[in-house]
C-alpha cells in the first residue's frame, strides 16, 4: 500500500473499530451492572433461607434491636453486606446476617475477570471484522488510484514522441537558420514539459532512491542557468560554495528545479531570486507575491495562483522527507518567500 491507501485504511479501521468497541464497552458495562444485581439477589436469597434453619457457614449471625425500616433489605457498609430478619415470637430483637465485604469484592472480581475475558475476545473479533471491512472499503479506492496512475503513465509515455519530434525539428531549424529568440523559447518549453514529466513520475513512483556522492554547487549552478533561460527578465544572484552530499542526485535536481522555477514564476516583474549556500543550508529567496497560508503550501493540489496546479511543492516535500532533508519556509505577502533546505543528514561531517 502507498501512503494514501495506508491513510485511508487506518481511518476506516479506526472509525469502525472505535465505534464497535464503544458499543461493546457500553454493553459490557450494562452486563456488569446486571451481574452485580444478580449477585446481590443471590446473597439476599441465601440469607433469607438461612434465617429459617441457621445453617449457613458463609454468613455471620448476630442479634440487633428491632427496626422494621430495615427488615427484608440488603444493606452494606465499609466492612460488610448484611440483612435483618424477624425472630419468631420476639418483638425486641431481629436476626442479623452479614457477609464480609472482602468476600463480596472477591465475588465481584471473579465476575469482572470473566467479563474482561469475554470483552477481549469480542475486541479481537471486532478487530478482525474492522480489518476486513477496511480492506473491502479500500478496494474501490485502490482500483481508482491504480487506473489513474496507469492513465497518467500512458499519457506521459505518449508525450515522448511529440516532444522528441519538437526537439529534433527545433535543432534542425537552429542549424538551418541559426539561433534566434523564438527557437530558443521552443527548446525551453520542451525542457519545461520534460521537467513536468519528471515531477509527475516522481509523484507516481514510490521506489527507493539510490544514493550517490556529488557536489551540490555545480548541480545548483546548472539548474540556475537552465531556469535563467526560461525567465530572462528575472535576476538570479548566487552565493555558493562546494558542499559534498551523499543522496539521490535526480531527486535533488527535482527539488532544486521546483524551488527555482517557483521563485521565478511567481516573482514580480524584473524581480530577484537569491540563492545562497550557508554552511549546510541551501537558501532560495525571491521578491515575489509571497504565500498567504504557509501551513498548506506543501499539501497536494493546494495553490494560491492560477499559474500552478499545486503539485510541485508537494513533490518537493515528499522528496525531502524521503532523502532526510529538513525544509522550512518563511513568507510575507507582497514581499516574497524564503525556502531553506538543511543537509545535515546528508553530509559526512
Identify the H or E element spanning 129. helix 101-177
294 located within any domain:
yes
Q: How far apart are CA 223 and CA 164, in angstroms?
A: 21
Looking at residues 293-298, what average pLDDT do you find? 82
Q: What is the pLDDT of residue 27?
A: 92
By DSSP bridging, strand 80-86 and strand 93-100 are: antiparallel
In a domain, 62, yes or no: yes
Residue 261 burial class via C-beta count within 10 angstroms: exposed 0-12, middle 13-18, buried 19 and up: buried
Band of residue 144 on the pLDDT scale cut at 50, 70, 90: confident
Please tell me whether residues 132 and 219 are part of one structural domain.
no
Between 143 and 234, the more confident residue is 234
Residues of the chain above pLDDT 70, percent: 91
Indicate the Cα dihedral angle 67, 69, 73, 76, nearest 10°. -70
Please give the DSSP secondary-structure letter assigned to residue 71: B
Q: What pLDDT band is residue 307 in, cutting at 50, 70 and 90? A: low
66 pLDDT above the threshold of 80: no
Residue 330 covered by a domain: yes
Average pLDDT over residues 233-237: 92
Cα Rg of the chain (Å, integer): 38
Residues whose CB is less than 8 angstroms from the CB of residue 167 and which lie 6 or more positions away in sequence, other chains included: 187, 190
Asked whether residue 337 falls in the same domain as residue 218, the answer is yes
Examine residue 205 and state whether it is found in any structural domain, yes or no: no
Q: Taking residues 89-113, report their average pLDDT.
A: 89
- Mean pLDDT, to the nearest integer, of 121-133? 92
Average per-residue pLDDT in the chain?
Answer: 84
Residue 321 lies in a domain: yes
Domain with 251 in it: 210-346
Q: Which of 122, 137, 152 is the last residue of a domain?
A: 137
- pLDDT of the residue at 205: 62
**231 and 335 fall within a common domain:** yes
Residue 156 falls within a domain, yes or no? no
- Say yes or no: 224 and 124 in one domain: no
Angle between helices 101-177 and 181-204 (to 10 degrees): 160
Confirm if 251 and 281 have CB atoms less than 8 A apart: no
The pLDDT assigned to 221 comes to 92
Q: 153: which residues sit within 8 A by CB, 6+ positions away?
A: 204
Cα separation, 134 vs 137, whole angstroms = 5
Of residues 145 and 9, more confidently modeled: 9
249 and 214 in contact (C-beta within 8 Å)?
yes
**Considering 105, 137, 169, which residue would you say is the last residue of a domain?**
137
Q: Which pLDDT belongs to residue 125? A: 94
Helices (H) and strands (E) in the chain, counts: 6, 11
Please tell me whether residues 326 and 225 are part of one structural domain: yes
Over residues 284-305, the mean pLDDT reads: 82
The answer, yes or no, to whether residue 38 has pLDDT greater than 90, is yes
Express as a percent the part of the chain with pLDDT over 90: 34
Q: 133 and 214: one domain? A: no
For residues 258 and 255, what is the distance between their CA atoms, to the nearest angstrom? 5
What predicted TM-score, i.e. pTM, was given to this entire model? 0.51
Is residue 1 very low, low, confident or very high in pLDDT (cuts 50, 70, 90)? low
131 and 225 share a domain?
Answer: no
pLDDT in tens, 248-258: 888 898 899 88
Q: How many domains does the chain have?
A: 2
Residue 22 pLDDT more than 60? yes
Can you read off the three cell numbers belonging to residue 91? Answer: 418483638
Q: Does residue 96 or residue 68 have the better pLDDT?
A: 96
Residue 138 confidence (pLDDT) above 70: yes
| pLDDT bucket at 116, cuts 50 / 70 / 90 | very high
On whether both 130 and 21 belong to a single domain, the answer is yes
Q: Tally Cβ neighbours within 10 Å of residue 161.
A: 9
Question: What is the per-residue pLDDT for 2?
Answer: 65
For residues 208 and 120, what is the distance between their CA atoms, to the nearest angstrom? 40
Residue 78, pLDDT above cutoff 80 = yes
Q: What pLDDT was estimated at residue 8?
A: 81
pLDDT score, position 53: 81
Handedness of CA 224, 226, 227, 228 (dihedral sign): positive
Kindly state the average pLDDT of the residues 80-109: 88
Average pLDDT over residues 155-169: 75
Separation of alpha carbons 114 and 320, rounded Å:
52
Residues 133 and 261 in one domain: no
Residue 16 covered by a domain: yes
Interval 180-230: pLDDT, tens: 777 777 777 777 777 667 666 665 665 456 788 999 999 999 989 888 888
Do 253 and 338 share a domain, yes or no?
yes
CATH of the domain at 332: 3.30.565.10
Residue 133 CA, distance from chain mean position:
20
Calpha distance 91→54 (Å, rounded): 19
Q: Looking at the domain assignment, is residue 253 inside a domain?
A: yes
* Average pLDDT estimate for 250-267: 89
Domain end among 106, 121, 137: 137
Amino acid at each position: 500500500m502507498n501512503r494514501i491507501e495506508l491513510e485511508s485504511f487506518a481511518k476506516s479501521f479506526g472509525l469502525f473499530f472505535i465505534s464497535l468497541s464503544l458499543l461493546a464497552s457500553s454493553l459490557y458495562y450494562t452486563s456488569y451492572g446486571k451481574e452485580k444485581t444478580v449477585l446481590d439477589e443471590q446473597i439476599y436469597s441465601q440469607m433469607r433461607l438461612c434465617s429459617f434453619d441457621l445453617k449457613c457457614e458463609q454468613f455471620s449471625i448476630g442479634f440487633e434491636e428491632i427496626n422494621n425500616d430495615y427488615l427484608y433489605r440488603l444493606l452494606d457498609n465499609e466492612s460488610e453486606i448484611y440483612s435483618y430478619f424477624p425472630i419468631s415470637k420476639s418483638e425486641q430483637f431481629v436476626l442479623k446476617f452479614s457477609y464480609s465485604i472482602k468476600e463480596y469484592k472477591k465475588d465481584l472480581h471473579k465476575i469482572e475477570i470473566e467479563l474482561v475475558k469475554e470483552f477481549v475476545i469480542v475486541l479481537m473479533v471486532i478487530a478482525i471484522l474492522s480489518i476486513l471491512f477496511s480492506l473491502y472499503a479500500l478496494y474501490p479506492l485502490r482500483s481508482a488510484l491504480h487506473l489513474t496512475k496507469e492513465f497518467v503513465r500512458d499519457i506521459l509515455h505518449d508525450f515522448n514522441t511529440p516532444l522528441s519530434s519538437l526537439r529534433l525539428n527545433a535543432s534542425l531549424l537552429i542549424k538551418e537558420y541559426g539561433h534566434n529568440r523564438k527557437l530558443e523559447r521552443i527548446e525551453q518549453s520542451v525542457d519545461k514539459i520534460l521537467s513536468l514529466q519528471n515531477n509527475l513520475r516522481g509523484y507516481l513512483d514510490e521506489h527507493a532512491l539510490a544514493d550517490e556522492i556529488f557536489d551540490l554547487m555545480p548541480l545548483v549552478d546548472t539548474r540556475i542557468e537552465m531556469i535563467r533561460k526560461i525567465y530572462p527578465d528575472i535576476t538570479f544572484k548566487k552565493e555558493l560554495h562546494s558542499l559534498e552530499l551523499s543522496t539521490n542526485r535526480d531527486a535533488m535536481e527535482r527539488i532544486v528545479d521546483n524551488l527555482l522555477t517557483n521563485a521565478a514564476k511567481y516573482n514580480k516583474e524584473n524581480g530577484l531570486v537569491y540563492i545562497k549556500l550557508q554552511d549546510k543550508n541551501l537558501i532560495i529567496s525571491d521578491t515575489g507575491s509571497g504565500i498567504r497560508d504557509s501551513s498548506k503550501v506543501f499539501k497536494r493540489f493546494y495553490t494560491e495562483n492560477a499559474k500552478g496546479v499545486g503539485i510541485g511543492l508537494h513533490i518537493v516535500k515528499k522528496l525531502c522527507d524521503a532523502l532526510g532533508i529538513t525544509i522550512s519556509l518563511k513568507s510575507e505577502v507582497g514581499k516574497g518567500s524564503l525556502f531553506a533546505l538543511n543537509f545535515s543528514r546528508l553530509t559526512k561531517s
